[in-house]
Structure 1
Amino acid sequence: MLLGLGIVLATPGSWAQSGSPTVVTQHQLQVVEMRLDRVERLLDSGALTEMLQGVETLQGEVRRLRGQVEQMENDLRNLQARQRDQFRNLDERLSLVEGGAATRQAPEPDPPPDPGEPLPDADEQGAYEAAFDVLMGGDYGQAISRLERFMERYPDGVYAANALYWLAEAKYASGDYEGALVDFEAVRSRFPDSDKAADSLLKVGYSQFELGNAEAAREALEAVVAGYPGTTLSRLAQERLRRLDGQ
């Protein structure tokens, strides 16, 4: 209040020179006093202190929320990384089942059974499932023998397309890329409407790649990419094309 009064009293000459009447000067003093009174009451009431404390509280809450957001972003990045790893592992397993098992050493095949020996199962489905189980067990030599005999008995059967495809896979996995190529192409020519036709086109590219026929491999793989965009087959073909370009 004294400061305000000092300011007001320090300038009487200016008011006198301007010709302002005395009543105006007194009014101004009253206004200053009222404003100072309000400031003093505000300070005494602790309102400013509460406001400052409220600001500090809000700032603390903002910092806490910011820390939570950063933690959530970090957790999200970790989750995405784990999902990518799981997806890659799943793809590797899928590729292995679809023919990537060629990198493994095939076990010594059992002696082929007597050609005159009947298939273990009398019906087509049973014979197919028995041969498929042998293939999934990793005995490629026995699987090849059973699937070849299946194709001789049921060349146009319900499971013929699948049996011929898995026969080609068994040959591919055992390192017989030429035999696999012949059978994969046979699937496409004999059973073009089968759901194994597209897979066989990919494996034609794989077989040509293993045989060192770069141009033929590229032609088949690019046909997969063009014909089946956005599918696992297309992605696998693109991966093999990258390997082909890296040679």
Structure 2
Amino acid sequence: MMRPAPWIALLAALLTWPAHAGLFDDAEARKEIMRIRDDHTARLDALESSSRASLQLANQIEAMKAEVARLRGDVELLMHDMESVKKRQQDFYVDLDARLRTLESGAAGPAAQIDPAAESRDYENALNLLKSGKYAEAATAFDTFVTTYAGSSFLPSAHFWAGSAALQAKDIARATQHFNTVVNQWPQDARAPDALLGVANCQRAMGERRLEQNTLKAVISQYPDSAAAKSAKQRLGS
């Protein structure tokens, strides 16, 4: 039997090579397409996760802005109260000097029922406890103040800060009572909008979200120009 010539074998190899090469290229192409598809799917998943995280972050930022606004309002109220205490102390010393002069002249006037110095001192001490983060002690100090000085002009503020301290101390029922006292007895007082917002904070702490939303709407409708209304709008929006 004759062997095929070498050139014939080479020709046969060349004729069959493109078919094998085509099969090889097709398989590689399918692998590349699957790789690109998987990579694209992974990118889409990562983008969706990033979008969800961005939305959650935006909501958290809005909530933090509302909380910062509320805290800023509390700080401003504290500073205002401290200035009021200093003013009352100055007035007391002026009044005391006038009384002493009257006594020296022999014309004694009626005795004061409330000692303004003690009133200012006790109110300032309660405020300092609150500023120091001693919430339970501050709540007790304000409770004592409103009982001792039932006719004080500081009563609306004292009830408001008593509610704030009690809320921080997790005594929700006590906080609600003080906030409602301000809202019901002094609805036109400067503390009333924040007191009503404090009621909403208590409702939130109790998990009463529907009542909280209704109270936030009441803050907006009753005190539309207040800082408390701005905070309520932000909370409802988030």
TM-score of the two chains, using structure 2 as the length reference: 0.51
- The answer to whether 1:140 aligns with 2:135 is yes
Structure 2 counterpart of 1:150, from 145, 154, 160: 145
Aligned residues: 136
SS in 2 for 1:155: coil
Q: Is the 8 A contact 1:124 1:154 kept in 2?
A: yes
Alignment of 1:204-243 (within 5 A): 204-243=199-238
CA separation of 1:90 and 1:223: change in aligned 2, threshold 3 A: closer
Deviation at 1:193, TM superposition (A): 2.7
Q: Percent identity among equivalent residues?
A: 27
- In structure 1, the residue matched to 2:32 is none
CA separation of 1:140 and 1:157: change in aligned 2, threshold 3 A: same
Give the AA of the match of 1:95. Answer: R
- The answer to whether 1:183 aligns with 2:217 is no
**1:67-107 Cα distance to aligned partner (Å, 9 max, x none):** xxxxxxxxxxxxxxxxxxxxx988644423667xxxxxxxx
SS in 1 for 2:152: coil
Gaps of 5+ in 2: 1-62, 75-115
User: Bigger radius of gyration, 1 or 2?
Assistant: 1
**188-197 vs 227-236, greater mean Cα deviation:** 227-236
Q: Is the 8 A contact 1:125 1:159 kept in 2?
A: no
Deviation at 1:208, TM superposition (A): 1.0
RMSD (Å), alpha carbons: 2.6
**Richer in helix (by share):** 2
* Distance (Å, rounded) in 1 between the aligned partners of 2:67 and 2:216: 18
Give the AA of the match of 2:70. Answer: S
CA separation of 1:237 and 1:89: change in aligned 2, threshold 3 A: closer
**1:93-133 Cα distance to aligned partner (Å, 9 max, x none):** 4423667xxxxxxxxxxxxxxxxxxxxx9621121011111
TM-score of the two chains, using structure 1 as the length reference: 0.49
Structure 2 counterpart of 1:95, from 41, 49, 70: 70
Gaps of 5+ in 1: 1-87, 100-120
